[in-house]
Amino acid sequence: MGKLVALVLLGVGLSLVGEMFSAFRERMSASREVEPVEPENCRLIEELENGSEDIDILPSGLAFISSGLKYPGLPNFAPDEPGKIFLMDLNEQNPRAQALEISGGFDKELFNPHGISIFIDKDHTVYLYVVNHPHMKSTVEIFKFEEQQRSLVYLKTIKHELLKSVNDIVVLGPEQFYATRDHYFTNSFLSLFEMILDLRWTYVLFYSPREVKVVAKGFCSANGITVSADQKYFASRMFCLRNPG
C-alpha cells in the first residue's frame, strides 16, 4: 500500500512539474515560429562583438551602449575582459562604436555593466547611471560625461540592501531612480527554478538619498524599465503602473 501511495504522489508531482514547465515554455514563446527577415538598412556594428545590453540616447543623437555583460546562466563571449561603455553618434551616415575611457579612480577590471540611464542636469551636464555587477553583486555607478574628451569621469557608487539582482534603471533626478530586480535568487539554478514556478517575487524599487522603497511587486522577472516624460507613469516589461510618488 505504501509503494502505491508513493507512486501516486510521484505521478502527481511529475504531472505538476510538467504543467509548470509547459506554462513556462508558453510564457517564453518557446514554440513560436520565427520567420527570417532580410532588413534593408541594417549592418553589423564593429567593436560590439561582446554583445550590447542596453542603450540610451541623448537629444543630440549621441548614444551610450553597455557591452560585455557577464550574467549567471548566460553565455559569455569574453570572460576575461571587463565590460565597457561605448558611444555612437547616430547623426553620422555610418556610425562607429567608440569605447569610452573612464577616469576618476574607478576599478575598470570589475566593470560588468547592465542597464543604463542618462540624466541631464539644469546646467546641461550629462550624467550616466550604470547598473554594475562586480563579483556578481549589484551596484549603481554614477559617471559624468565629458563630451569634448569623449570620456566618463567616475563620481560615485550607490549600494543598498534592496539593490539585488538589478537589471535596469531609469533616472528621475540627481541620485533618484527606479530600478528593477529581475530575479529573487542569485543562484542560476534557483533562478531558473523560480521562473519555471512563476513565483513572481521580483519588484521595482525607488531610490533616493532620503528614501528607498519597493513601489511595485509581483513580477515574474522585472526587466527593462522606462518612465513617461512627465514622470507620472513608469513601465516595466509588459506591466504599466501608476507612479505612487
> pLDDT tens digits for 102-116?
999 999 999 999 999
pLDDT for res 49:
82
pLDDT for res 9:
59
The CA-atom distances, in angstroms, between 87 and each of 47, 62, 104, 120 are 11, 7, 19, 16
Closest CA to 71 of 112, 126, 123, 30: 112
Which residues belong to the active site? 114
Residues facing 173 on adjacent strands: 176
Closest CA to 76 of 88, 67, 85: 67
pLDDT for res 242:
45
Cβ–Cβ under 8 Å, residues 167 and 177: no
pLDDT for res 149:
93
pLDDT for res 231:
77
Q: What is the pLDDT of residues 218-235, one digit of tens each?
A: 887 788 888 887 777 777
Residue 53 assigned as binding residue: yes
Q: Nearest 5°: CA angle at 115, between 101 and 180?
A: 150
Residue 40 assigned as binding residue: no
Residues of the chain with pLDDT under 70: 1-31, 193, 196, 237-245
Residue 54 assigned as binding residue: yes
Amino acid in the structure at residue 84: K
The CA-atom distances, in angstroms, between 120 and each of 57, 61, 126, 174 are 11, 14, 5, 9
Domain boundaries, given as residue ranges, for the chain: 44-159, 162-244
pLDDT for res 62:
97
Query: Helix crossing, 188-196 with 2-27: angle to 10°?
Result: 90
Residues facing 218 on adjacent strands: none
Residue 116 assigned as binding residue: yes
In the numeric block, which cell numbers belong to residue 16? Answer: 505538476
Residue 102 assigned as binding residue: no
Rounded to the nearest integer, the mean pLDDT of the chain is: 84
Local structure of residue 100 (DSSP, 8 states): P
| Dist CA 136 CA 195 (whole Å) | 19
In the numeric block, which cell numbers belong to residue 45? Answer: 556594428
